[in-house]
Amino acid sequence: MTDASEKDVEQAGAARTTQAAQAGAADGTRAAAPTKSPIVSVRHARKAFGSVPVLRDITLEVEPGEVVAIIGPSGGGKSTLLRCMTLLERLDGGDLAYGDLAVAADGVYGNKDVLARARSRFGLVFQNYNLFPHFSVLRNVMDAPVVVQRRDRAEVEAQARALIAKMGLEGNEDKVPCQLSGGQQQRASIARALAMNPEVMYFDEPTSALDPELTAEVLRVMRGLAAEHMTMVVVTHEMSFARDVADRVVFMDGGVIVEQGPADQVINHPRQERTRAFLAQREA
Amino acid sequence: MCGMLGSGFLVSLQIFSLTLLGALPLGLPVALARMSKVRPLAAIARFYISIMRGTPLMLQMFAIYFVPYYVFGVSLTTDSKWQATIVAFIINYAAYFAEIYRSGIQSIPRGQYEAAEVLGYSGGQTFFRIVLPQVVKRILPSITNEVITLVKDTSLAFSIGVIEMFTVAKQLVASQVSMLPFAIAAAFYWVFNLLIDALATRVERKLDYYHD
Ligand SMILES: Nc1ncnc2c1ncn2[C@@H]1O[C@H](COP(=O)(O)OP(=O)(O)OP(=O)(O)O)[C@@H](O)[C@H]1O
Ligand SMILES: [Mg+2]
């Protein structure tokens, strides 16, 4: 068992080392935590829209507590990858697993029950929030845990109020989304996803609909989650966020992972020409 | 005179209520069928809607009245006209409501479905908790329009010989050689529609707590 874990650490490579080092600096418990199997793993994933390949042999694993930033030019397949991982789209080929739950093997998906169990393990934050406009903030956060997970209403409400407060939205529980700023709506949608107690949170450009001030509010709560070792996969154009918060940065272009590694390495010392070109363009 | 018109109005009111009671719910499965991925089902629904909206309600009443007699040899009774009227009104209005529902359902952004899917809502839960309440708000003005049209359309039952308010008014006009019964009948329709309008405004205001 110990051998296997050590091998895992080796395989996961530099990213984990950095993560462990960072975590060690922030909080000593993390480095000592026993190695677990990946929370989610995608292997040799393929996906095409019609005859256009959008994902070409993508392999990605996310370890518990890891923050992975996915960057890359428009049309590179970042959203499609996230949509496949969140079961909004189906892979044409390859494997998808949540822990020991095999969701898709060689492009063949499990049954409804398997998909439902997989869905209970992740949360997704959309670029345009997609809050339910007819529900109050509190109801947006509470509804799925009560209706889908059939949890006790009082317990859910206590958790929901705590999450809303944690997102800096105290006092807005009874407002409806249209009464909130974009940044507040995005934070409410993060609370909604967290209320399902997911093992991993996905974010698809959570701040790109927001102006800089509101972006900062949202990034602040995301940093908070990272500090609590929430496992996160974030598609972002915010290079400073990727550099400062992510343990690992994945650069995607043309449906492939061109380069990945510790955030500092990929962003400050990219090895691939395409990554360099992309980053240079970003700075300009 | 007002008493006679009043009892005629009660008949109109019955046509009105029975039509809404039947057509408002029936429109939903028709709309869902129309949007179905099962091609034949969608085609049937599309054809049905096209006939209902493309031919006069009056002809539809006659068709429903006579078809059972000519095709199936069912003998016509005194109730047949009334039954044909109600059935024709329901299936005609269901087609209009179906199209309103469909436009409303299709106007809900895909992101709402995706958010619900990721949160694990079932198809039914998504429809009834997330989609339908938003659809109701969006289509309320169109539904109100249709309901107001229905109030006036009840007078079409006159053509098949159902004694509703307009029939009564016409008889009174003939026997009394006065246009007054028509004026009173018009007032009945108008006041009733004012009430509907007031009700619709109240509901709209109630749903005004959010916009999207
Ligand atoms: N539903 C779809 N149908 C057809 N083509 C699609 C669909 N969704 C995405 N694509 C195409 O797939 C490619 C990858 O799109 P994707 O949205 O994954 O890119 P992205 O990396 O998220 O880009 P961006 O930074 O602009 O969000 C693009 O060429 C896009 O046009
Ligand atoms: Mg995208």
Q: Are strands A40-49 and A52-62 parallel, antiparallel or unpaired?
A: antiparallel
CB A217 within 8 Å of CB A16: no
Percent of chain A with pLDDT over 70: 87
ipTM here = 0.85
User: Best substitution site from A46, A47, A49, A239 to test ligand 1's pocket, by max atoms within 8 Å of Cβ?
Assistant: A49
- CATH numeric code, B2-206: 1.10.3720.10
Structure confidence at residue A9 (pLDDT): 38
Domain limits of chain B? 2-206
- Residues in chain A closer than 8 A to B125 (CB atoms): 147-148
Strands (E), chain A: 40-49, 52-62, 67-71, 93-98, 101-105, 108-109, 122-125, 200-204, 231-235, 248-253, 256-262
Amino acid identity, position A8: D
> Is A192 in contact with B121 (Cβ distance < 8 A)?
no
Give pLDDT tens digits for B117-165.
999 999 999 999 999 999 999 999 999 999 999 999 999 999 998 988 9
What atom in ligand 1 is closest to the CA of residue A80? 18
Cβ contact, residue pair B114, A148, below 8 Å: no
Please give the average per-residue pLDDT across A197-226, as a whole number: 95
Asked if A131 reaches chain B (Cβ–Cβ under 8 Å), the answer is yes
Q: Tell me the per-residue pLDDT of B29-52, one tens digit each, with 9 for 90 and over.
A: 999 999 999 999 999 999 999 999
Q: CA-to-CA distance for A132 and A139, rounded, in angstroms?
A: 9
pLDDT of A28 strictly over 70 = no
State residue A10's pLDDT score. 38
Which among B115, B125, B129 is the nearest to A126, CB-wise? B115
Q: How many CB atoms lie within 10 A of CB B209?
A: 12
Model confidence pLDDT, tens digit, residues B54-80: 999 999 999 999 988 888 887 888 788
Query: What residues contact residue A69 under an 8 Å CB cut-off, 6+ apart?
Result: A234, A235, A236, A241, A242, A245, A246, A248, A249, A250, A263
| Among candidates B114, B134, B209 on the partner chain, residue whose Cβ is nearest the Cβ of A88 | B114
Average pLDDT of chain A to the nearest whole number: 89
Mutate to test the interface with B, among A130, A136, A139 (most CBs of B within 10 A): A130
**Digit-coded pLDDT (tens) for B176-187:** 989 999 999 999
Give, using CA atoms, the residue closest to atom 29 of ligand 1: A75
Angle formed by the axes of helices A212-227 and A182-194, nearest 10°? 20
A255 CB under 6 A from ligand 1?
A: no
Those residues whose beta carbon sits under 5 angstroms from the ion ligand 2 are: A 79
- CB within 8 A of A42, min separation 6: which ones? A58, A59, A60, A61, A81, A84, A85, A94, A95, A96
Residue whose CA is at the smallest distance from ligand 1 atom 8: A80
Residue A5 has pLDDT above 60, yes or no: no
Does residue A19 surpass a pLDDT of 60?
Answer: no
Q: How confident is the model at residue A284 (pLDDT cuts 50, 70, 90)?
A: low
Considering only CB atoms, A176 lies closest to which of B109, B133, B209, namely B209
Contact B211 A178 (CB under 8 A): yes
pLDDT of residue A35: 56
